[in-house]
Structures are given as C-alpha cells and as structure tokens.
Amino acid sequence: SNAAVATGIGLGAVAAARAGVQYSERVVHTNTQNSIAQAAGPLEVGAVAPWSITHSFPIEDDEHGRVTVSRLISTGALDCKEIVFSVDQNATRDKPASSAFYIASVCRDGKDWRWASAEPATERWGALQ
C-alpha cells in the first residue's frame, strides 16, 4: 500500500536482474576469450588456427573465427603473445559472410593460455569484458 516501498522493491528487483545478466555476460566473454587464447597459445608467429565457442547458456550466439600470433611479447618466465583474431559470420540468405578483426594479448598461466588484454577498444566486447 506504500508507493515508496513498492518502488524500492521494484528498483531492487531490476538492479538484481541487471547484475545477474552482467555477470552472465562476463562469464560468456571470459569463456570466449579463453577459447581464443587456448587456440593461440601453441602457435608460432604467423601460424593460423581456428577457434570456436559453443555457449552452454545461450545469452549470446556461438562464435568462431581464426587466430594468428603476430609477435612474441616476452618469453621465459613470462610467456606472452600478441594475437590477431577474427570473429567470422557465416553467410545467410539475407547477408554475405563477413569477418571482423581484433588485436589482443595472451599469456601462459601454467599449462594454460589466458586472455591478458585490458579492455579492447571495440564495440564487440562492450563495457563488460
């Protein structure tokens, strides 16, 4: 019966839902980035490999593309590489196939390779890397 209480409850529910979606987006982006890093990790400079991700939670479309190592940033105790990767869109009835290209850094973390870039300056990843 109190409008202020009802408004507060409504705003709280909206904030909780938004936080849940943002968390899910961060998980999806992390999984995608780690998939790209794992494909790039074993590559030599100039070699190209495919990458793909199938999301278990369909908050975003499954994606795929190619990745290449453009240069070694460091080797030894801190192995890091600069990579160039594409996000490829298959042709559909309404639009031709296309690719968008991005640059990032990956570093070795034990046996695994992980995304090491701060926020890419692209709209594709959005504010929530």
At 81 the pLDDT is 94
d(CA 129, CA 80): 19
Which residue in 103, 90, 96, 98 sits closest to 62, CA to CA? Answer: 90
d(CA 69, CA 52): 17
Domain boundaries, the chain: 3-115
- Helix (H/G/I), strand (E/B), else coil: 17: helix
At 14 the pLDDT is 64
Q: Kindly list the averaged pLDDT for each block of 10 residues, start to end, along the chain of length 129.
A: 66 64 66 90 95 78 91 87 92 90 91 78 49
- pTM of the shown model: 0.71
d(CA 103, CA 39): 14
At 129 the pLDDT is 44
At 42 the pLDDT is 93
